[in-house]
Structure 1
Amino acid sequence: MKVAVFSCKPYDKRTLEAASETAADIELVYFESRLSPETVSLTKGYDAVSCFVNDDLSRPVLEQLASFGIKAIAMRCAGYNNVDLYCAKACDISVFHVPDYSPTSVAEHAVALIMALNRKTHRAYHRVKEGNFALEGLMGFNLEGKTVGCIGTGRIGQAFCRIMNGFGCRVLCYDLVPNEPLVSQGAEYVDLETLYAKSDIISLHCPLNASTHHLINKSSIEKMKKGVMIINTSRGALVNAQEAIDGLYSEKIGYLGLDVYEQEGKIFFEDMSDHIIYDSVFQLLLTFPNVVVTGHQGYFTDIALHHIADTTLANLIQLKSSPEDYQRELTAIH
């Protein structure tokens, strides 16, 4: 099986090569570029492609892949909102992902954003570098006793709730299906209205779909406490960035931590330090002292990368050895 690996950075290549040492029948060819209508022609002669969060797997690309004989898409991430699953099924292309690479890596990064915003470590770091040791403007608050709202209690949301329980926070959760172990640990499941109204901190850990697109918007922000902290380490389009900026201006949002951004596909995972970023909304976000943005690095730990590589190769090996059985398993997943 010959596999074209897109959006492949040096760290991806290192872990994939290590994982592929025992997969002699699978040949990986690496492309740093993203899969898109402009690059899809590179997949001619391949059996499968491996993609990441910002690759374009819309209908035009999938139809081209099918015409080249591509039979599988191996996503190297948990989310697959960038894949037109209906078109993939119609084109008889199997799609699989890495549902459990390291939930704690993303959960811990969400907590890192909370701590940085609360204790203003991003500002304190630069002050001390300049010889300024004044504390005025760096006041934080104790997390113990605060109410934390978690939207989405899958693997990552559960890990996040456990951490916040350890801080002594009251944890409110919203999900379509409550998680009983979390309830036994003290978490409370409530409706979104209650979560918005009572939470001092709201962290997003839900998938992106039609019902969650721009979940954080003018209407939902108006229902929140004044000075609320909002954290998003899930998918950028969960937050309407312009309306979040309006919330920052009105001081309804007191803190905003983003590891993802709706238009990140044009800029994230690349060195843009010598380029002008033609995104006025993103540039405006960076001017706020109470906003911290990181470049989609929540998943980026050694354990997570090795697990992603191992699972991706295991999926390809299983697909190669028993495609019919594996297709039935994929149907059950999606």
Structure 2
Amino acid sequence: MEILAFGVQADEEPLIEAAFRGLPDLRCRCLDVFLTEDTAPIAAGHEAISTSVNADLNARVLRTLAAGGTRMVAQRSTGFNNIDLDVAEELGLTIARVSSYSPYSVAEFAWALAMAVNRRIVRAAARTRDFDFRLDGLMGRDFHGRTVGVMGTGKIGEAFTRIAHGFGMRLLGWDVAENPACAALGMRYVEKDELLAEADLVSLHVPLLPATHHLVDAGALRTMKDDAVLVNSSRGGLIDTEALVGELRRGRFRGVGLDVYEAEAGLFFLDKSLEAITDDTLARLLTFPHVLVSSHQAYYTHDAVSQIVDATVRNVTDYAAGRRTENVLVPATARASH
């Protein structure tokens, strides 16, 4: 069986090829194009495909895949808010994801964003390339002794908290359930508004669900300190970006680090340098000197990607063997007419 992998990055391809090499009756063909309504017909004749986090698996895409003979989708990410699971179940498709990978990859990158905007690293690097070595406008502040608010204290949030503890910060947490490991570090769990009002640094580590969409909305942003740092390395839809731009225009926040953006599909992972950007909100966001936007790369370490690829291979081999694991979101319990 040949698996068709969509949206494969250049650094990722050798890891995928190595993982499938030597497997009996299984091989993988990698494509750099992302799965969309336009590219879905390419999958015709492939029983199993693999997709990236920015694939669009809406109802129309899933119906096109099913009509072309696809029966299994292995997504190379933990999040699955881009998949219409109800339609997948209706079509009898098996949908699997990667339930976990190195939490340190994302936690460490979130701290890289926080440090970069706090210490004005991007502006400093741009200056020194022009042999401008002035310090004007580059003054940061210590995180030691200040308060961090961690929204979402699962594996990634816990890893982020451990680093914050190493900095000597006061720890506030918000989640549906307390993490004993975070509590043992001295984290105090509080309501969302209290966390936002007290934190000097707010970092988001919750999944994107209907209940968490625009978790940080206009009201939440107004609750935050004027000189707070906000970091999001989870999902773009957690923040109301237009409301964020509005607050930034008022001169609020010390810095904002975003590895994700709510309208990133069709932009992130692609070279748009020769095109006009029609997303006015993103264009405005990028004009603020104390805002740093990266292209959904927090997970992108050799360690994490290797674990993601290995889990994806296991998902495909489990499907081929008829096994169901904790990675399966939608089991193929029935075959609907297409």
Fold-level match, TM-score > 0.5?
yes
Which range moved further: 199-208 or 249-258? 249-258
Would you say the 8 A contact 1:74–1:312 is kept in 2? yes
Give, in angstroms, the shift of residue 22 of structure 1. Answer: 3.2
Change in 2 beyond 3 A, CA 1:224/1:329: closer
Give, in angstroms, the shift of residue 66 of structure 1. Answer: 2.0
Paired with 2:275 and 2:162, the residues of 1 have a C-alpha distance of 41
Change in 2 beyond 3 A, CA 1:304/1:222: same
Give the number of aligned pairs: 331
1:104 paired to 2:104: yes
Q: Quote the RMSD (CA, aligned, Å).
A: 1.6
Aligned residue for 2:335? none
1:51 paired to 2:32: no
1:319 paired to 2:319: yes
Please report the TM-score for the alignment, with normalisation by the length of structure 1: 0.95
1:71 maps to a residue whose letter is R
Aligned residue for 2:24? 24
Query: Which aligned runs of 4 or more in structure 1 are off by greater than 6 angstroms?
Result: none
Cα shift readout 1:147-167 (whole Å, capped 9, x = no counterpart):
111111121111111111110
Paired with 2:106 and 2:230, the residues of 1 have a C-alpha distance of 15
Aligned residue for 1:330? 328
1:118 paired to 2:113: no
Would you say the 8 A contact 2:93–2:330 is kept in 1? no
Cα shift readout 1:106-152 (whole Å, capped 9, x = no counterpart):
11000000111111111111111212211121111001011111111
Would you say the 8 A contact 1:23–1:317 is kept in 2? no
Which range moved further: 2-11 or 293-302? 2-11
Cα shift readout 1:196-242 (whole Å, capped 9, x = no counterpart):
11111111111111111111221111111122211011111111111
2:328 maps to a residue whose letter is L
Cα shift readout 1:262-319 (whole Å, capped 9, x = no counterpart):
1111211112222222211111111111101111110111111111111111111111
Aligned residue for 2:155? 155
Aligned residue for 2:140? 140
The alignment partner of 2:324 has SS state of: helix
Paired with 2:101 and 2:327, the residues of 1 have a C-alpha distance of 19
The alignment partner of 1:172 has SS state of: strand
Which range moved further: 14-23 or 66-75? 66-75
Would you say the 8 A contact 2:99–2:327 is kept in 1? no
2:306 maps to a residue whose letter is H
Change in 2 beyond 3 A, CA 1:288/1:30: same
Aligned residue for 1:75? 75
Paired with 2:234 and 2:13, the residues of 1 have a C-alpha distance of 24
Aligned residue for 1:175? 175
Would you say the 8 A contact 1:244–1:253 is kept in 2? no
Would you say the 8 A contact 1:48–1:73 is kept in 2? yes
1:316 maps to a residue whose letter is V
Aligned residue for 1:273? 273
Question: Unpaired segments of 5 or more residues in structure 2?
Answer: 332-338
Would you say the 8 A contact 2:95–2:329 is kept in 1? no
1:49 maps to a residue whose letter is I
Paired with 1:20 and 1:37, the residues of 2 have a C-alpha distance of 27
Paired with 2:87 and 2:174, the residues of 1 have a C-alpha distance of 31
Paired with 2:179 and 2:22, the residues of 1 have a C-alpha distance of 37
Percent identity reads 37
Give, in angstroms, the shift of residue 2 of structure 1. Answer: 2.2
Paired with 1:144 and 1:327, the residues of 2 have a C-alpha distance of 43
Paired with 2:285 and 2:203, the residues of 1 have a C-alpha distance of 18
Would you say the 8 A contact 1:63–1:91 is kept in 2? yes
Change in 2 beyond 3 A, CA 1:112/1:294: same
Would you say the 8 A contact 1:19–1:309 is kept in 2? yes
Give, in angstroms, the shift of residue 91 of structure 1. Answer: 1.4
The alignment partner of 1:88 has SS state of: helix
Aligned residue for 1:92? 92
Would you say the 8 A contact 2:174–2:192 is kept in 1? yes
The alignment partner of 1:326 has SS state of: coil
Change in 2 beyond 3 A, CA 1:168/1:287: same
Change in 2 beyond 3 A, CA 1:283/1:18: same
Paired with 2:314 and 2:326, the residues of 1 have a C-alpha distance of 16
Would you say the 8 A contact 2:99–2:326 is kept in 1? no
Question: Unpaired segments of 5 or more residues in structure 1?
Answer: none
2:72 maps to a residue whose letter is A
Give, in angstroms, the shift of residue 35 of structure 1. Answer: 1.0
Paired with 2:92 and 2:116, the residues of 1 have a C-alpha distance of 46
Higher helix share: 1
Would you say the 8 A contact 2:85–2:330 is kept in 1? no
Please report the TM-score for the alignment, with normalisation by the length of structure 2: 0.94
Paired with 2:121 and 2:23, the residues of 1 have a C-alpha distance of 45
Would you say the 8 A contact 2:44–2:68 is kept in 1? yes
Paired with 1:97 and 1:327, the residues of 2 have a C-alpha distance of 10
Which range moved further: 189-198 or 106-115? 189-198
The alignment partner of 1:282 has SS state of: helix
1:194 paired to 2:156: no
